Each structure stands twice: as structure tokens, then as C-alpha cells.
Amino acid sequence: MSRDPHRAGAGRLTRTYLRVGIMNEMQYRVNFLMEMVQSLLQIGTALAVLGIVFSHTDTLAGWNRSELLAVIGVYTLVRGLVNMFVQPNMERVVTEIREGKLDYALTKPADSQVLVSIRDVRFWQITDVVVGIVVVVVALVQLRATLQPSHVASFVVMLAVGTVSIYSFWLILAAAAFWLIRINEVQELFNGLYRAGQYPVGIYPSWLKFGLTFLVPLAFAVTVPAEAATGRLSWSAAGIAVAATCVLVGFSRWFWLRGLRRYNGASA
């Protein structure tokens, strides 16, 4: 089977859209300050809650205050990555399916899933990424953790795996619009579910833990990278995270293609 010579490669396409997206965002520099204020307010609230929780206890399901601080840092960091790259694209897909405007993406000579996943970048959400990294570093200093290269490498790998799993989950949610049409509220659903990630999934009852691991992959997105950062991660947990993410990527791809077959478009 020969490859269409006019079809754009995913790597080159991603770089081009990323560059254009960042240039676009750079025009609105005051937004950086606004996002920074919002990030600081949110982390301030999370720390206040942590303070109140730990004014009543010393450990929460085996996690001490500094370890939970690392979880909050990873939660903020992943939220920044998702808000920067994933959420704006998926919200746009949901709107375009409803309004029948997805045709504009489908008629382009590129893979539809790749194209709809890279068109928007909210670069200033990087403030959450920076704040998240700072909080993780503070937590590690409090834990007096000796930072080994293997911990850093496993943290980075698990962070990438977790972000991909969240992307796949979001793609499934967005593709549900092919059947349900009006699901503008899907972002509220995601934001609500994502909040569960600010605590390690181990504290939840077993049925909820299963749901937050295999249905909504928060365990892989937040808890596993936090375990990697604090040196609590086992090889088996890492293996399960990678395997489950591969399955999720495959399923979301299948679900997207299946949904596309139902799409009529506004001009059809």
C-alpha cells in the first residue's frame, strides 16, 4: 500500500501548529500575568486545604504531609499540561461536531485524529506547569529525598505516560459527541473527575479506586508520577500504567474512527 504523498507527517504538522499557536498566544502577554495570579490562587487554596486536613491528622492513608504536597504538585503540573495541549483541542472538537464544522478538519490531507488534537495551544497555562514543578521540588526538599537520576527519569516517563492516558480519555469523551451531539458540559465532567486526582487514589474505596485507575486514568496521570517522584513507585505499578495506557490509546483511536463514521456534517 503506497502512502499518499500529499498527506502531512504528524511530527511536522505538530511542530507547525505548535509554533503558530505559541506565536498567537505571545500577542497577549498580559494573559501570562493573569494566568500566573490564577495559578497562585489555586495552589494557595490547595495548600490551605492541605493545612486544614493535616491540622486534624498526621497521615492520610499512609501518606504524610510532604508526600501529599508532591501529589498536589504533580496534580497542578498535569493540569497545566492538559489545559495547555489537550483540553482546548477536545473542547473545540465537541463544538465542531455539534455545529457540523468538523468537515474543515476532515477534508484536510492529514490524519483526522492528529489534526484535531494539535490545532490549539493555550501556552500561558504553562504557569500551572511551573507552579507544579516548584511545589514538587519543595516537597522533595521537605522529604530530604536524595534525587537519583533513575527517580527523575521514571518521573518524567510516568508523567508523559499519564498525560497520554488523560489525552486518550479526553478523546473518548469528545468522540461521545458523535452519538450524544450536545455535550458542552463534558468539560465540567472532566474537571470534576480530575479533582479526584489531588489525593492519591489509594485513599478511595476499592470500587472508586478501580474506576479512577482504569475508567478515568487519574491513578496513572497523577498518583503514579507522584510515587515515582517520591521513590514509592514499584516496577509492577509502572508496568501496569504503561500497559493500560497502550490499551487506552488503542481503544480511543478505535472509538474516534467509529464515531467518525456516524458524522454527517452540516453540509451533507
Partner 1 sequence: MIATYAAYARVSAQQQFQYRAANYFFMIGMVVEPVIYLVVWSTIARSHGGQIEGFTPGTFAAYYIVWTLVRNMNIVLTPFAWEWRIKEGQFSGQLLRPVHPIHEDLASFIGWKFVVILLWLPIAGVLSLVFRPELSPSLLQCVVFGIAIWGAYLIRAIMQWSLGLITFWTTRVGAIFDAWYLSEMLLSGRLFPLQLMPDWMQRVSWFLLCSASGSPWRSP
Contact present, 36 and 125 (Cβ < 8 Å) = no
Contact present, 148 and 195 (Cβ < 8 Å) = no
What ranges in 107-234 are assigned the alpha helix state H? 112-118, 126-142, 149-175, 177-180, 186-195, 206-210, 218, 224-229
Q: To the nearest whole angstrom, how small is the minimum distance from the Cβ of residue 180 to partner 1?
A: 5
Q: Give the C-alpha separation, 151 to 148, whole Å.
A: 5
Q: To the nearest whole angstrom, how small is the minimum distance from the Cβ of residue 12 to partner 1?
A: 34
Q: What is the number of H-type helices and E-type strands within the chain?
A: 14, 2
Nearest to 114 by CA among 208, 252, 22: 252
Q: Which is nearer to partner 1, 207 or 235 (CB)?
A: 207
Q: Which is nearer to partner 1, 55 or 236 (CB)?
A: 55
Q: To the nearest whole angstrom, how small is the minimum distance from the Cβ of residue 10 to partner 1?
A: 30
CA-CA distances (angstroms) from residue 58 to 63, 172, 201, 211, 244?
9, 39, 18, 27, 33
Q: Which is nearer to partner 1, 31 or 112 (CB)?
A: 31
Q: To the nearest whole angstrom, how small is the minimum distance from the Cβ of residue 24 to partner 1?
A: 17
Q: Which is nearer to partner 1, 72 or 161 (CB)?
A: 72
Q: To the nearest whole angstrom, how small is the minimum distance from the Cβ of residue 82 to partner 1?
A: 15
Contacts with partner 1 by CB under 8 A lie at 30-31, 34, 37-38, 41-42, 44-45, 48-49, 52-53, 55-57, 59-61, 180, 182-186, 188-193, 195-196, 198-199, 203-205, 207-208
Nearest to 128 by CA among 84, 86, 95, 172: 84
Contact present, 46 and 76 (Cβ < 8 Å) = yes
Q: For strand 63-64 and strand 59-60, is the pairing parallel, antiparallel, or unpaired?
A: antiparallel
Q: Which is nearer to partner 1, 182 or 258 (CB)?
A: 182
Q: Which is nearer to partner 1, 45 or 264 (CB)?
A: 45
Q: To the nearest whole angstrom, how small is the minimum distance from the Cβ of residue 4 to partner 1?
A: 37
